Amino acid sequence: MKKVGLTTTIPVEVLYAAGVSPVDLNNIFISAEKPMELVEQSEMAGYPRNVCGWIKGLYACTLNEKIPEVIAVTQGDCTNTHALMETLQMRGVKIIPFAYPYDRDRKFLKSEIEKLMSYYDVEWTEVNKTMQKLTEIRSLVWEIDRLTWEENKVGGFHNHLFQVSCSDFEGDPLQFKKKVSDFLEVAKNKKPLQENVRLGFIGVPPIITDLYDYLENIGARVVYNEIQRQFTMPFDTDDIVEQYLLYTYPYHAFARLEDIKKEIAKREIAGLIHYTQSFCFRQIEDIIYREQIDIPILTIEGDNPGKLDARTKMRIDTFVEMLA
């Protein structure tokens, strides 16, 4: 299958309907053996030090993996995507832009999906059929999420990992379905985990690799991964346009806020970790969450891929102790 890189979640139903295999560049970057070397590779190519580590990772991954084509989300994701697209284009990568409408306009989004369909030469019937198949897999991942917060049988890392993988279904939905089913089989027979503090994690997926383990070692557990959960499209609809309109991440902070508040109450969360990425415009949105959410929030910042630094560990320790 032809590989197409993604800079973030897009309607992958179109790609699978067209027989194309999507590769979420974020996932291959962070799961690389030495992700820091990818960041350095981009800096050697001229990417500034004060640009988000994810963007640098995406640039190097695309070139190293020889991905010929990338679908870049030009609206509703990252302010750095335009320059990423341009620098990749200069290196011979074909760029296909995709935009989410800031005002969640149905007509606009439908026309963006149709543009993608026309590029990949697929019809609505095939896309809708593919949506049904992918929703079946998504529903298994929803069950992992339910086992996390309701039955306390899944830790924060696996909750994060399976949900984040729904952006591309690891390039092979059938294989991924099997992996999820095997995991569920084991997880549902586990004894419930017994932590003192239930946490929520909001913000972009962390570039820090040991956050969830660290929290579990000090008696806390993440029972809600906000954006990762959104990647699973946890909505009751069979209309693909509606599905990507309900998806909160590409729209404004207030769309996310509503979802966050609902899940805090449902999952009985004591405190939130707001993860922010160095040099990311989304850091500014911390102002909104702090003002609008009435449970304690700890804002932490990650820069390059790697483990938690000592200062952040100390801040997390104090936060968890305070909540306990």
> Which residues form the interface with ligand SF4 (CB under 6 A)?
52, 54-55, 78, 80, 204, 277, 280, 282
Could you give the CA distance from residue 37 to residue 39 in angstroms, rounded to a whole number?
5
What's the first-to-final CA gap in the chain, in angstroms?
50
Q: Tell me whether residue 248 or residue 277 sits nearer to ligand SF4 (CB atom).
A: 277
We find the least distance from the C-beta atom of residue 81 to ligand SF4, in angstroms, to be 7
Judged by CB, which is closer to ligand SF4: 184, or 204? Answer: 204
Minimal distance, residue 172 CB to ligand SF4, in Å? 25
Nearer to ligand SF4, 4 or 55 (CB): 55
**Shortest distance, position 84 Cβ to ligand SF4, whole Å:** 9
**What is the CA angle 83-89-93, rounded to 5?**
130
What's the min distance (Å) between Cβ of 267 and ligand SF4? 24
Q: Distance between CA atoms of 100 and 78, rounded to whole angstroms?
A: 12
Quick one: 1 or 83, whose CB is closer to ligand SF4? 83
d(CA 108, CA 235) in angstroms, rounded, equals 20
Please say which residue, 54 or 201, places its beta carbon nearer to ligand SF4.
Answer: 54
How many CA atoms within 13 Å lie on the side-chain side of 214?
16
| Distances, alpha carbon 190 to alpha carbons 155, 183, 193, 194, in Å | 11, 11, 9, 12
- Closest approach, Cβ 212 to ligand SF4, in A, equals 18
Q: Is 21 helix (H, G, I), strand (E, B) or coil?
A: strand
